[in-house]
Amino acid sequence: MASRRGPDNSVRVAISGTVKGQSFANIFHAQLVTSSTITQTDLDTWTLAFFNAYKTRFQSLVPTDTTVSFAKAVLYTPGGGELISLQGTAYAGTGSASSAPGAPSKVVSWLSTVYWRGGKPRTYMPGLVAGDLTTSTDVIAPTPLANLKTGAANFRTDVNALTAGTITGTTIGFVSFRSGNTERGTPLFFAFTGSTVHPRIGSQRRRDGRWQN
């Protein structure tokens, strides 16, 4: 169960897997349009399609020692309820070579019409490989940079096109739970309007564990 509840008919999706045996998760939010009460079958179909969109756009961009295991969707239904779906068949990345030690990552920065200083919606891609970097630098090389930009843009387009029975529309974005350093009375959803990838690398710090060696 997620620690905080999103708006009604929004859904939190966690794409989970491992990099060299260490766990990772990419968290996404989407707002759904419905024709009536969303059924379990329709949520299952939608969640599997979300998982497959992630696979289509990102499998070739992560290394072979990265395994993407499943997608878990938590739908926040009107009236305070939840509907949960666990979908997907595990697969390995098909990118070249194995990932670097620790948790360096290529980072997708998601764009929106709102802006706050501090935390912003980002996706830390699992499994950076040495070939992703310009020689003797910590800067992402032009080709992998362009490939991730294209993959992220297409993933957003794919997700925004998802429908499944009672789910008649999807918008990927993020949920704002706080404003002015206080909890919002009602969380707000904001759509992603685009994405970009900066040449600097990031780090999934919590994947490092206590020791590297």
Domain boundaries, the chain: 10-206
Q: What is the pLDDT of residue 204?
A: 67
169 Cβ contact partners less than 8 Å away, ≥ 6 residues apart:
32, 33, 163
What CA–CA distance (Å, rounded) separates 51 from 73? 10
Q: What is the pLDDT of residue 29?
A: 98
Structure tokens at 27: 């968290």
Q: What is the pLDDT of residue 211?
A: 42
Helix axes of 40-58 and 142-160: crossing angle, nearest 10 degrees = 160
How many CB atoms sit inside 10 A of residue 19's CB?
24
What CA–CA distance (Å, rounded) separates 97 from 147? 17
In sequence order, the β-bridge partners of residue 33 are: 169
Q: What is the pLDDT of residue 118?
A: 63
CA distance to 5, 41, 50, 185, per residue, from 47 (Å): 18, 10, 5, 28
The DSSP code for 109 is E
What CA–CA distance (Å, rounded) separates 56 from 38? 26
What CA–CA distance (Å, rounded) separates 203 from 213? 18
Q: What is the pLDDT of residue 100?
A: 78
Among 179, 161, 158, smallest CA distance to 169 is for 161
Structure tokens at 128: 């950076």
150 Cβ contact partners less than 8 Å away, ≥ 6 residues apart:
none
Q: What is the pLDDT of residue 115?
A: 78
Predicted confidence pLDDT, tens digits, the chain (213 residues): 456 899 999 999 999 999 988 899 999 999 999 999 999 999 999 999 999 999 999 999 999 999 999 999 999 999 999 999 999 999 999 987 778 776 789 999 999 998 776 668 999 999 888 789 998 888 999 999 999 999 999 999 999 999 999 999 999 999 988 777 788 888 999 999 999 999 998 886 654 544 433
Q: What is the pLDDT of residue 213?
A: 33
Q: What is the pLDDT of residue 65?
A: 92
